[in-house]
Structure 1
Amino acid sequence: MSLGPVEYMVIEFPGNQFKGEIIPALREVIDAGVIRIIDQVFVRKDDRGNVSVMELKDLQKDAAEAFAPLARDASTLFAEEDIEKVSGIMENNSSVALLLFEHVWATRFRDAVLNANGRVIAGERIEKERVDAALAWKPEEQEALEVAP
């Protein structure tokens, strides 16, 4: 099976307070065929910095029920090294959802580029703050988006 572009995202919930508000937005883009969750892991860090990894079955019932339909085809692709990196950037007393997802929308475009003998030679997600700064650009405060070659 050929996948579209794959990306990971780490979403932190300070104070270990997950309210489930992201679930409807995720469900919307999954149901529309925009993305597909490939893997998901939940990490918790207590106030002393102790880390625990939780699978879907380890979450509180409401959170587990909310996330379960979003990753019907989930694999186990995240490695221990990935968890270590994430735990290194987490704040104490927080939880994160580590999501690996496919950009399903881009598969047809990728195939068209390949069929045209084209190739993507650079690409990077640009942080919202940098885009906002560029959109609010004033000549005296110009800040480049720093597109990498």
Structure 2
Amino acid sequence: MSLGPVEYMVIEFPGNQFKGEIVPALREVVDKGVIRIIDLVFVRKDEQGNVNVMELADLQKDAADAFAPLAREASTLFAEEDIGKISEVMEMNSSVALLLFEHVWATRFRNAVLAANGRLIAGERIPREVVDAAVAWKPEEQEALEVTP
């Protein structure tokens, strides 16, 4: 099986307040074939720092039923070491969802690059805050600030 680019994402929910609000948005990108979930793990950290790791099968029935269609092909690729690193940086009394997913949309492009003897030599996700600041930046206002004594 040829995989497109694979990425992981860790989403933290302070106060252990995850109630599944992200499921519809996640379902949309999975159903449209934009991504394919490869692994999905949930981690809880209580007020004392005790960590509880849950795979999809370990969730309560309603949560498991919501996520099951999204992770039909999910396997267990996150290692204990991965989860240990995440639990070290988690806030107390929080939950995280670890998501390993394939960018299905990019598979054809990746194959074309390879067929053209191309190779990816750099790439990075740009944080939302950096993009927002760049979009909001107005050069005319910056120049006005520079010429004002």
TM-score normalised according to structure 1 size = 0.90
Query: Between the two proteins, what is the percent identity of the paired residues?
Result: 84
Residue 41 of structure 1 pairs with residue 41 of structure 2: yes
Aligned counterparts of 1:62 and 1:14: Cα–Cα separation in 2: 21
The equivalent of 2:51 in structure 1 is 51
- Which residue pairs with 1:123 in the alignment? 123
Aligned to 2:18: 18
Question: What are the superposed Cα offsets for residues 49-102 of structure 1, whole Å, 9 maximum, x if unpaired?
Answer: 111111112212221111111100011110011001110111111111100000
Distance 1:60 1:75 in 2: 19
Aligned to 1:114: 114
Structure with the larger helix share: 2
Deviates more, 1:95-104 or 1:111-120: 111-120
- Structure 2 counterpart of 1:133, which letter? A
TM-score scaled to structure 2, two decimals?
0.90
- The separation in 2 between residues aligned to 1:68 and 1:4, in whole angstroms, is 22
Q: What letter is aligned with 1:54?
A: M
Residue pairs, 1:59-78, within 5 angstroms = 59-78=59-78
Structure with larger Rg: 2
What amino acid maps onto 2:110 in structure 1?
A: R
Q: What 5-or-longer segments of structure 1 have no aligned partner?
A: 142-149
Partner of 1:147: none
Matched residue type, 2:130: R
SS of corresponding position for 2:67? helix
- For 1:131, the aligned partner's letter is V
Paired position in structure 1 for 2:100: 100
Counterpart of 2:113, as a letter, is: V
Looking at structure 1, the residues matched to 138 and 31 of structure 2 have their Cα atoms a distance apart, in angstroms, of 40
SS of alignment partner, residue 124 of structure 2 = coil
Give 3-state SS (helix, strand or coil) of 2:10's partner: strand
**Displacement, 1:46?**
0.4
The residue type paired with residue 73 of structure 1 is E
More displaced 10-residue stretch of structure 1: 20-29 or 58-67: 58-67
What's the C-alpha RMSD, in Å, of the aligned pairs? 1.2
Code of the aligned partner of 2:8: Y
Residue 16 (structure 1) shift: 1.1
Which residue does 2:89 correspond to in 1?
89
Residue type of the partner of 1:137? W
Q: Which runs of 5+ in 2 are unaligned?
A: 144-149
